[in-house]
Amino acid sequence: MTYRPAAPDSYSGPAIALHWLIAVLIVCGFYIGWIMTDIPGFTPTKLKYFSWHKWIGVTVFALAVLRVLWRAGHRAPPLANGTPLWQKGAAHAVHGLLYLLMLAIPVTGYLYSSAAGIQVVYLGIVPLPTLIGPDDALKVVLRSVHIWLNYTLLVLVILHVLAALKHQFIDRDGLLGRMLPFPK
């Protein structure tokens, strides 16, 4: 993907790249999380999926931090002038929650692993610090929080996609084109 400077009504190349890379990783992480929890017992396949899930989570967290930093220095293009105020408010709220969840979900997963007494070793090479010691009660809470945050993210992503499709096919205001990874 080549860098393209942002037009006033479009996102920049780095913002677009981070958006789609994080989106793909979140979908993969959610899918792997869904599959791995349904595997009975303690098998090599289940361990492999747990590792992949954690690696994706750490990567999403790092990319989300980069995305937040990029966004801090690069404003999002404004919504169309005719966009109702409630839609602008909803869009800002959903985007804020998406950013929050992109950071909070990996953190809760990481802390859940620590509370379970399992160190996260990124890509099987880099051992990450254990922030809390094993704690069975906290493990149960963090697992529940991690799961519910993921389902909250799923609902928000569905709303985000439906809103983008509404703008594309009903409003026909070009909003979706601002975030597509290829030139119009």
CATH, domain 13-179, list 1.10.150, 2.60.40, 1.10.357, 1.20.950: 1.20.950
pTM of the predicted model, to two decimals? 0.91
Confidence of residue 27 (pLDDT cuts 50, 70, 90): very high
**Interval 159-184: pLDDT, tens:** 999 999 998 899 888 888 888 887 65
Q: Where are the domains of the chain?
A: 13-179
pLDDT at res. 4: 45
Contacts of 50 (CB under 8 A, 6+ apart): 36
pLDDT at position 83 is: 85
Q: What is the pLDDT of residues 117-149, one digit of tens each?
A: 999 999 999 999 999 999 999 999 999 999 999
Q: How confident is the model at residue 1 (pLDDT cuts 50, 70, 90)?
A: very low
Q: What percent of the chain has pLDDT over 70?
A: 95
What is the pLDDT at residue 175? Answer: 82
pLDDT in tens, 47-57: 999 999 999 99
Given this model, what pLDDT does residue 80 score?
80
